[in-house]
Amino acid sequence: MNLRAVLRHAWAKPLLWGFLLLPFAFLVLGIFQQDLGPNPAEYLIRSTGELALRMLCLTLLITPLRVQLSLPELAQFRRGLGLLTFFYAFMHALCYSLLDMEWAWDDIVKDIWKRPFILVGVLSFVLLSLLAGTSFNRAVKAMGAHRWRQLHQAVYVIAGLAILHFFWMRSGKKNYDDVMVYAAILGLLLGWRLWRKWQTWQAAKIKP
Ligand code: HEM
């Protein structure tokens, strides 16, 4: 069976979603087995935050892979990956609100203003929620394809805010190693898109 047939297989999506939800299952297992280290709340907040960022990278990887490898079948995974990004970001925000702030809304509002990296995270999450809420076919129809596409360009803002959030959070300890890895990956994915735009623009200029 070749790669295209594998991607088109009825089991391709369920298997991929199952695989990408495994880290979540391990976190839940860790809670029940009380095996999340000395600070489980911090472990959960950090793991879900990093998982959200990984899902965002995977979402943005789909188009370059689809175009470079000429695999149109990959397009079917993009919406699901975007929704998984939202799912992990939602879990991240939930763990923070519940475990760190104990649902104290006054304290959450104060924390947002006191620690700017939290504000940046919230902004990124609000945009992400907007994209997740409009990711369904009915929303595309209601908004019109052009406006929908314009709104979904916000994914690049989300990526920038997520990296800023991560960078700012680490600035206390000046530990930027993994921040740089994610920034480089997202930079490459965005760079590829700019390169494509430039190529299309050049091709349009050459045409008589
Ligand atoms: C309501 C929105 C958000 C809130 C309140 C929030 C809050 C936090 C907090 C409190 C931490 C630091 C935990 C610690 O000091 O141990 C953190 C870390 C982090 N957050 Fe967020 N965040 C939000 C949105 C996001 C989003 C949308 C993303 C990515 C798409 C994200 C990615 C991360 C990452 C990668 C880390 C660092 C994890 C690590 O150290 O490995 N956050 N966030």
In sequence order, what DSSP letters do the residues of 141-180 get, joined into one string? Answer: HHH-HHHHHHHHTHHHHHHHHHHHHHHHHHTTTT--HHHH
Domain range enclosing 18: 3-203
Query: Does residue 160 fall inside a structural domain?
Result: yes
Residue 182 in domain: yes
Confirm whether 208 is domain-assigned: no
49: its two tokens? 């935050």
121 close to ligand 1 (CB < 6 Angstrom): yes
> What is the residue whose two structure tokens read 């990526």?
159
The mean pLDDT values, 10 residues at a time, for the chain of 208 residues are 93 98 98 97 98 98 98 97 98 98 98 97 98 97 97 98 97 94 98 96 83
pLDDT of 66: 98
In a domain, 193, yes or no: yes
CB 127, CB 154: distance < 8 Å? yes
Q: What is the pLDDT of residue 205?
A: 84
Cβ atoms 51, 23 nearer than 8 A: yes
Is residue 128 assigned to a domain?
yes
125 CA: nearest ligand 1 atom: 27
Per the structure, the count of domains in the chain is 1
Distance CA 129, CA 89 (A): 9
The closest residue, in CA terms, to atom 24 on ligand 1 is 121
Q: Does residue 65 lie within any of the structural domains? A: yes
Find out whether the beta carbon of 56 lies less than 6 Å from any atom of ligand 1.
yes
Question: H helices of the chain, where?
Answer: 3-8, 12-32, 40-68, 78-95, 105-114, 116-133, 137-143, 145-152, 154-170, 177-206
Instruction: Provide the pLDDT for residue 208.
Output: 65
Residue 77 maps to a domain: yes
CA-97 nearest atom, ligand 1: 5
The Cα 189–Cα 108 span in angstroms is: 33
Domain contains 155: yes
